[in-house]
């Protein structure tokens, strides 16, 4: 499952593939972590274990980086991290996975299903190999009066940008929040992805921050205070957030990220299927070049962030940003990868150690980094060999579909290789020869 999809995409897939009907909850404690469930008493969920209840997928709700399922008496809210997902799956495949656990208990290849809504034909599966996702139980009717449902999402977080962008923008522009952002000295990427700042950036996280900054033409390691003290840069970032989530609901994106189409199996690890997802649903920044709009190109060129060989735009570029057919003109630039560093606290004394992690790999068309940046720039050749890729909604904004250059650059092992099986037909048994008699003697 691509990492760049939104919670709204998960909801679309479940509504399209999971029919309303009777389901039961099966919980697999061996893949839970301590304090997996928060909110009300976790034992309230046990009444739905191995007991049928009616589930209507049209009642699934999303808000920011959270998705909620409506059970008869409570809301079950899930918040995922990194590679956590909720996916539709055939019941036959789910049972095969359960049987594989019995054959190979403790195997690292086992799919870590933490919970499943099991129906006659289809299942809703919650999984996270890293055990980082959080589940919350919220009673629908906490009082004796049942006049209105309780709010299932966390009201302390910022408004959801994909559902209510004006409210999200107004929250960012509150005087107290602007004052805080002007005084923060951490990088804009770190600020947007740190969970403790979800009262400002709810709904973005690591999955979308890279591409939003790419749309805004802002370097990931630029200080957040430098972004917020310049009104032009601040407005570009806010506009990019709006544009990003609008694309997530556009007909172009939803037609390619088809909700009712998946592989025959929910978990298919073959390179051919992975490449199919990346080519059909998302664009992977595993290319040597990409196309960016004139406005972003001009900004990066003036800041000296592009390769020295790049030339300036014509003097009248602002008047000629659109082609005769009404399409936006774009400029081809080379692609580089910025491998950021993360700060990790070690031991009781909270010693700080900086170590490189692939999880913080950011792909951009920027060649030069701001002063004081600690990230390491990788060439496109290094990126192709290492397999690093960032995927998501912004793919449809600034690039064309993969071409033959991508085919030539990608290593052979990432493609499906034809198998030469000799002559067509059943294999024939090899006849005994004199060499066999020599070996026996």
**Could you tell me which of 394, 437, 389, 433 has the C-alpha nearest to residue 414?**
389
Average pLDDT over residues 186-198: 87
Distance of alpha carbon 305 from alpha carbon 213, whole angstroms = 14
Q: What is the pTM of this model?
A: 0.65
pLDDT tens for each residue of 199-234: 999 988 776 887 788 778 788 888 899 999 999 999
Strand 61-62 relative to strand 122-127, pairing:
unpaired
Domain with CATH 3.20.190.10 in the chain: 4-139
User: With 50 as the cut, is the pLDDT of residue 345 above it?
Assistant: no
How far separated are the first and last CA of the chain, in Å rounded?
Answer: 57
Q: Report the chain's C-alpha Rg in angstroms.
A: 25
Mean of per-residue pLDDT scores for the chain:
72
d(CA 172, CA 33): 34
Question: If you search the block for the tokens 């709010």, which residue do you land on?
Answer: 151
**Under the phi-then-psi rule, with left for phi > 0, alpha for psi from -120 to 50, and beta for the rest, what region is 387?**
left
Non-local (6+) Cβ contacts of 348 within 8 A are: none
Task: Tell me which of 248 and 60 has the higher pLDDT.
Answer: 60
Question: Which residues of the chain form CATH 1.10.8.50?
Answer: 155-285
Pick the CATH number of 155-285 from 1.10.8.50, 1.10.3720.10, 3.50.50.60, 1.10.10.10: 1.10.8.50
Residue with tokens 């995922």: 80
Domain spanning 4-139: CATH superfamily: MutM-like, N-terminal (3.20.190.10)
pLDDT tens, 68-91? 999 988 899 988 775 677 888 889
> Are the beta carbons of 293 and 329 closer than 8 angstroms?
yes
The CA distance from 136 to 41, in Å, is 10
Using CA atoms, how far residue 422 sits from 413, 415, 431, in Å, is 22, 21, 17
Q: Judge contact between 6 and 248, C-beta under 8 A.
A: yes
């Amino acid at each position: 499952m691509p990492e760049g999809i939104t919670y709204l995409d998960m909801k679309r897939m479940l509504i399209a593939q999971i029919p309303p009907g009777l389901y039961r909850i099966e919980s697999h404690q061996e893949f839970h972590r301590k304090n997996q469930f928060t909110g009300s008493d976790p034992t309230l969920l046990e009444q739905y274990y191995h007991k049928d209840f009616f589930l209507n997928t049209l009642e699934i709700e999303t808000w920011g980086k959270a998705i909620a399922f409506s059970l008869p008496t409570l809301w079950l809210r899930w918040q995922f991290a990194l590679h956590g997902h909720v996916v539709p799956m055939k019941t036959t495949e789910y049972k095969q996975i359960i049987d594989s656990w019995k054959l190979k208990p403790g195997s690292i290849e086992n799919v870590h299903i933490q919970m499943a809504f099991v129906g006659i034909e289809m299942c809703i599966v919650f999984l996270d190999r890293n055990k980082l996702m959080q589940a919350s139980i919220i009673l629908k009717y906490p009082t004796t009066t049942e006049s209105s449902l309780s709010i299932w999402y966390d009201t302390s977080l910022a408004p959801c940008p994909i559902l209510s962008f004006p409210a999200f923008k107004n929250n960012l522009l509150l005087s107290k929040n602007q004052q805080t952002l002007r005084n923060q000295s951490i990088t804009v990427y770190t600020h947007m992805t740190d969970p403790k700042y979800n009262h400002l950036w709810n709904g973005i996280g690591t999955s979308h921050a890279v591409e939003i900054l790419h749309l805004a033409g802002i370097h990931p390691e630029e200080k957040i205070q430098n972004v917020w003290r310049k009104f032009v840069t601040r407005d570009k970032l806010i506009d990019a957030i709006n544009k990003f989530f609008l694309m997530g609901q556009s007909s172009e994106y939803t037609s390619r990220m088809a909700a009712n189409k998946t592989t025959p199996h929910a978990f298919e690890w073959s390179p051919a299927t992975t490449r199919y997802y990346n080519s059909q649903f998302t664009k992977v920044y595993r290319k040597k070049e990409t196309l960016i709009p004139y406005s972003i190109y001009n900004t990066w060129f003036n800041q000296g962030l592009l390769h020295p060989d790049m030339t300036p735009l014509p003097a009248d570029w602002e008047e000629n940003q659109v082609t005769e057919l009404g399409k936006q003109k774009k400029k081809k630039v080379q692609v580089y990868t910025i491998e950021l560093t993360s700060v990790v606290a070690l031991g009781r004394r909270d010693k700080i150690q900086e170590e490189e992690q692939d999880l913080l790999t950011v792909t951009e068309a920027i060649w030069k980094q701001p002063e004081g940046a600690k990230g390491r720039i990788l060439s496109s050749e290094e990126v192709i060999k290492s397999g690093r890729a960032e995927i998501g909604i912004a793919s449809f904004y600034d690039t064309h579909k993969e071409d033959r250059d991508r085919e030539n650059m990608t290593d052979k092992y990432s493609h499906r290789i034809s198998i030469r099986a000799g002559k067509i037909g059943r294999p024939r048994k090899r006849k005994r020869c004199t060499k066999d008699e020599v070996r026996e003697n």
